[in-house]
């Protein structure tokens, strides 16, 4: 009974604070900023991969990024991404890449604002420091994504080596595409921990971040399955939005994911408050 009472207080605190602090409005802000940052981020990855002589890495990174999205949502966006990445660009290593970096970092700043609200924090750090941190995280994220694409390439080799000792698992592992799911899932999980640790002001331990990250992952998987099934069975976005159907479905999906992301931060903050109650006033 005590556990149930404590769990109810934590959930009530998290959901109540989400509602009182305009969580749905913040989810809209994060979703739109994320969509606006998506193409600049991939353009920067393409420029960085080209500079490193890895001309196919950008395509692999973009595919890896959308592996965690429902297929009905991801496919129209992937088509546009491929069109953007294959378009010859003469400015990609000069002004274009700087603009791409700036717009991609705006998405990071939207996440920071949402997490500061979720953790009940007022931002007091210098604007220049915050922007440099956002730019650094974009660059680091691009490098990590390029690096993880090699795991997708090397994973089939590892699977073949494994099947020399366990031949029966080869068809199973290859059929479910375990390499791509493991790599994509690892990227998402690492990204969530980095966001909760680095972006909001204040310091939280690893174990204080775990509940919100796990809750976000569970909500994302449930939302992805439910929204994908809804699009496949009921929704007709083409009739409603015409040529914008793909972008609108992506925006709605990002809105749902953003709300889950903010709720993860709210859950962590509520758990901390439960363990360290504020003194009576």
Give the pTM: 0.80
Would you say residue 194 has pLDDT above 90? yes
Q: Are 184 and 67 in contact (CB under 8 A)?
A: yes
User: What local confidence, expressed as pLDDT, does residue 128 receive?
Assistant: 93
DSSP 119: T
What does the alpha-carbon distance between residue 48 and residue 260 come to, in Å, rounded to a whole number? 31
DSSP 68: G
- pLDDT digit string, tens, across residues 110-133: 999 999 999 989 999 999 999 999
251: which 2 tokens? 């925006």
Residues 170-179: what's their mean pLDDT?
A: 54
Higher-scoring residue by pLDDT: 29, 99: 29
Which of 171, 231, 183, 158 has its CA nearest to residue 63?
183
Would you say residue 215 has pLDDT above 90? yes
- pLDDT digit string, tens, across residues 25-74: 999 999 999 888 887 887 777 777 767 666 666 666 677 677 777 777 77
All structural domains of the chain with their residue ranges:
11-275
Would you say residue 237 has pLDDT above 70? no
User: What local confidence, expressed as pLDDT, does residue 274 receive?
Assistant: 82
Q: What is the largest CA-CA distance in the chain?
A: 67
26-to-77, 94, 178, 258 alpha-carbon distances in Å: 23, 33, 34, 8
- pLDDT digit string, tens, across residues 126-152: 999 999 999 999 988 888 777 776 665
> First CA to last CA across the chain, in angstroms?
28
What does the alpha-carbon distance between residue 100 and residue 36 come to, in Å, rounded to a whole number? 10
Q: Are 15 and 271 in contact (CB under 8 A)?
A: no
What does the alpha-carbon distance between residue 181 and residue 64 come to, in Å, rounded to a whole number? 9
125: which 2 tokens? 């750090």
The 3 state secondary structure assigned to 178-215 is HHHHHHHHHHHHHHHHHHHHHCCCCCCCHHHHHHHHHH
Would you say residue 214 has pLDDT above 70? yes
């Amino acid at each position: 009974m005590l556990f149930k009472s404590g769990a109810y207080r934590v959930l009530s605190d998290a959901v109540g604070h989400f509602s009182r602090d305009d969580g749905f409005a913040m989810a809209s802000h994060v979703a739109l900023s994320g969509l606006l940052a998506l193409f600049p981020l991939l353009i920067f990855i393409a420029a960085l991969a080209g500079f490193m002589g890895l001309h196919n890495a950008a395509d692999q990174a973009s595919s890896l990024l959308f592996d965690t999205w429902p297929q009905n949502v991801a496919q129209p966006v992937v088509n546009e991404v491929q069109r953007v990445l294959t378009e010859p660009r003469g400015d990609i290593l000069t002004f274009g890449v700087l603009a791409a970096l700036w717009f991609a970092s705006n998405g990071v700043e939207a996440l920071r604002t949402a997490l500061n609200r979720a953790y009940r924090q007022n931002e007091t750090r210098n604007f220049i420091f915050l922007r440099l941190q956002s730019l650094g995280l974009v660059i680091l994220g691009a490098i990590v994504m390029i690096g993880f694409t090699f795991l997708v390439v090397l994973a089939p080799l590892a699977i073949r080596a494994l099947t020399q000792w366990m031949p029966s698992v080869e068809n199973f592992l290859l059929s479910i595409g375990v390499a791509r799911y493991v790599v994509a899932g690892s990227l998402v999980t690492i990204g969530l921990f980095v966001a909760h640790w680095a972006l909001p002001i204040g310091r939280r331990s690893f174990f204080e971040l775990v509940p919100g990250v796990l809750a976000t992952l569970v909500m994302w998987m449930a939302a992805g399955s439910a929204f994908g099934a809804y699009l496949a069975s009921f929704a007709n976005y083409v009739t409603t939005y015409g040529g914008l159907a793909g972008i609108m479905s992506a925006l709605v999906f990002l809105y749902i994911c953003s709300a889950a992301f903010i709720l993860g931060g709210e859950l962590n903050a509520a758990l901390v408050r439960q363990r360290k109650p504020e003194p009576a006033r």
